[in-house]
Amino acid sequence: MTRTIVVHSHRGGTGKSSVLANLALLLAAGGHRVGAVDTDLQSPTLDLLFGLPPGAGSLADYLLGRCEIETAARRTGVPGLYLVPARTGTAALRELMTTGYDVGLLPEGFDRLARHHALDVLLLDTHAGLNNESVTAMGSADVVLIMARADRIDLSGVEETIALVGRLACRRVLVLSMAPEGIDREDVRRRAEDVYGAPLAGVLPYVPEMAALYGERIFVDAHPGHPLVGEFRAILSALDARDEVSRA
């Protein structure tokens, strides 16, 4: 059975795509069959992060009826890791905005992809906030990984997301990103559980080495021994855990 993990945040630039790319590499290195879909049609990222060569086939093409989702899934150069890029240019976006698309194609595409590649894990990247793609992705999720900075606006967005996710049959975990130095983890953990009913899966500090990569390499590949990689592994363990807090 494929486990579907959605990475979401209220605002952009929170580190969703970076975390997703790193988790994808760690999972694939652990021998899992992994699919990643960039549902961020507005600001695609994963094709650049994975250095995908330009070519035909993307989520946008699939939504416009121009290709099958199986054709849109590309090899990444990492064994066992497939990627569906969001789009290959702006033309498809304009078309999608003008004509719209059948949102039912998204869950159908995720299912077909999972079956076609016999995926163990399907990772769905999202655009920030609540929109057709992010809400539909969350509707397909087994777990939603909600990312937020320690910031009032980000955290108010978490409440909104949790109010939505609470109606869906999926678990949720919280990851704090760009955490200020010296943050009290226990306090954050307690608050995450008490206020959001979500276990804290990780606290990611701002890491200058990550910013210095300019998105040209994926962090775990460039800095395999860095403590941040330990934090990414802790997130994977929390995603595996069958906790009760998230079902409250």
Which positions lie near ligand ADP, rule CB under 6 A?
Answer: 9, 12-18, 45, 177-178, 204, 206-207, 210-211, 215
Cα separation, 88 vs 104, whole angstroms: 22
Residue 22 touches Mg ion, criterion: CB under 5 A: no
Cβ of residue 244: shortest distance to ligand ADP, in angstroms? Answer: 29
One residue of 2, 6, 7, 16 binding Mg ion per CB under 5 A: 16
Please, which residue, 17 or 246, has the CB nearer to Mg ion?
Answer: 17
Please, which residue, 81 or 199, has the CB nearer to Mg ion?
Answer: 81
Residue 18 touches Mg ion, criterion: CB under 5 A: no
Cβ of residue 149: shortest distance to ligand ADP, in angstroms? Answer: 10
**Do residues 140 and 205 make contact, with C-beta atoms less than 8 angstroms apart?**
no
Cβ of residue 222: shortest distance to ligand ADP, in angstroms? Answer: 11
Residue 87 touches Mg ion, criterion: CB under 5 A: no
Q: Which does 18 bind (CB under 5 to 8 A by kind): ligand ADP, Mg ion, none?
A: ligand ADP
Q: Kindly give, in sequence order, each residue whose CB lies less than 8 Å from that of residue 231, ignoring residues fewer than 6 positions away.
A: 202, 203, 204
What dihedral angle (degrees, nearest 10) is formed by the CA atoms of 164, 35, 55, 11?
A: 30
Please, which residue, 16 or 172, has the CB nearer to Mg ion?
Answer: 16
Count of residues that bind Mg ion according to CB under 5 A: 3
Structure tokens at 186: 């226990």
Please, which residue, 178 or 200, has the CB nearer to ligand ADP?
Answer: 178
Q: Which does 37 bind (CB under 5 to 8 A by kind): ligand ADP, Mg ion, none?
A: none
Burial of residue 188, with CB atoms counted within 10 A of its CB: 0-12 exposed, 13-18 middle, 19 or more buried: middle
Cβ of residue 191: shortest distance to ligand ADP, in angstroms? Answer: 20
Cβ of residue 112: shortest distance to ligand ADP, in angstroms? Answer: 25
Stretch that binds Mg ion, among 31-39, 43-51, 110-118, 227-235 (CB under 5 A): 43-51
Burial profile 98-125: b = 16 or more Cβ within 10 angstroms, e = fewer: eeebeeebbeebbebbbeebebbbbbbb
Please, which residue, 24 or 33, has the CB nearer to ligand ADP?
Answer: 24
Sequence-separated contacts (24+) of 230-236 with Cβ below 8 Å: 231/202, 231/203, 231/204, 232/19, 232/22, 232/23, 232/26, 232/202, 233/26, 234/201, 234/202, 235/19, 235/23, 235/145, 235/173, 235/175, 235/201, 235/202, 236/23, 236/26, 236/27
Binding site for Mg ion (CB under 5 A): 16-17, 45
